[in-house]
């Protein structure tokens, strides 16, 4: 069985904010959307992202670029956007 759609787009989910969590403890999920959940094992997991509004952005670079972008989003963009991080 093939898990990936022909037009699959990779994306990442940042689970921890590096200012409050040590970098070696931060969770970042490298993801690929699938059409249908399948039986999987090993290092691969399946989870569903609930339908909500999310901020999406593209970063090219390494961990330093991710941290700097996260700082910008939380400290500058988010307070001015009218949105907030849910409790």
Can you give the pLDDT of all 87 residues of the chain as single tens digits? 455 656 677 888 878 877 778 888 888 888 887 776 667 777 777 778 888 888 888 888 887 887 788 788 888 998 999 888 776
Domain containing 19 equals 10-81
Q: Is residue 67 part of a domain?
A: yes
Give me the residues paired with residue 28 across strands.
14
Q: What is the count of structural domains for the chain?
A: 1
User: Which regions of 1-87 does DSSP assign to beta strands (E)?
Assistant: 10-14, 28-32
> Cβ(74)–Cβ(17) under 8 Å?
yes
Q: Is residue 26 part of a domain?
A: yes
pLDDT computed for residue 2 by the predictor: 55
């Amino acid at each position: 069985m093939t898990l990936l759609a022909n037009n699959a787009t990779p994306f990442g989910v940042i689970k921890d904010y590096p200012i409050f969590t040590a970098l070696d403890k931060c969770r970042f999920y490298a993801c690929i959307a699938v059409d249908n959940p399948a039986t999987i094992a090993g290092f691969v997991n399946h989870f569903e992202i609930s339908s909500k509004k999310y901020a999406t952005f593209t970063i090219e670079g390494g961990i330093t670029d991710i941290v700097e972008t996260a700082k910008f989003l939380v400290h500058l963009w988010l307070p001015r956007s009218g949105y907030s991080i849910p409790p």
